[in-house]
């Protein structure tokens, strides 16, 4: 039994959700998102919200149940509130700046790294060492944050690099004479 799958997804005010077979779409103040669920689960609209249940008692249906409910929850949350991922830049001379539709990263290379910002993603640079990635699609926000982090991953000796806010970096001790 899936503990997550049992709970219905509440639809907040200002958001309209429609269920048409396996296709679920939600429209809200941030925009419109949709998801197509796998055949092993059944989605229906109830008074409490959108309820996802397995079609049969197979192992695959049980495995897809919680995941499908989470996908529906993510599109409802995305169109109502949106998602945000914060990145921190640590290192002497490392900084970020926004120039038009490109994020310019100075990460200790001989050149600046220019990252083109995708259409439905908003990137803000409140400080030179902080980057905020936000948007309505949770998967795309996480992917953009991971791509930015990949340019200079945090290293274990000095901790320099691009890291997620609050991420713990396991530190190693250097060589001894």
Instruction: Kindly tell me the number of DSSP H helices and DSSP E strands found in the chain.
Output: 3, 12
| Segment 128-142, tens digit of pLDDT | 999 999 999 999 999
Cβ-based neighbours of 176, under 8 Å, separated by 6 or more:
none
Cβ-based neighbours of 145, under 8 Å, separated by 6 or more:
85, 87, 133, 164
- pTM of the predicted protein model: 0.88
| Segment 46-88, tens digit of pLDDT | 999 999 999 998 999 988 999 999 999 999 999 999 999 999 9
Domains of the chain: 3-80 (3.90.930.12), 83-164 (3.90.930.12)
């Amino acid at each position: 039994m899936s503990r997550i799958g049992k709970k219905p997804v509440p639809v907040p005010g200002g958001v309209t959700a429609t269920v048409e077979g396996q296709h679920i779409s939600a429209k809200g103040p941030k925009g419109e998102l949709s998801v197509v669920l796998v055949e092993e689960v059944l989605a229906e609209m109830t008074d409490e919200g959108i309820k996802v249940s397995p079609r049969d008692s197979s192992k695959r249906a049980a495995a897809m149940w919680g995941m499908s409910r989470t996908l529906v929850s993510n599109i409802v949350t995305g169109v109502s509130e949106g998602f945000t991922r914060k990145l921190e830049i640590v290192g002497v001379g490392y900084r970020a700046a926004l120039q038009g539709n490109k994020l310019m990263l100075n990460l200790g290379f001989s050149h600046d790294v220019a990252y083109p910002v995708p259409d439905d993603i908003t990137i803000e640079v409140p400080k030179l060492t902080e980057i905020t990635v936000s948007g309505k699609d949770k998967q795309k926000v996480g992917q953009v944050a991971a791509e930015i982090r990949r340019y200079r991953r945090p290293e274990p000796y000095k901790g320099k690099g691009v890291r997620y806010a609050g991420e713990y970096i396991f530190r190693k001790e250097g060589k001894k004479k």
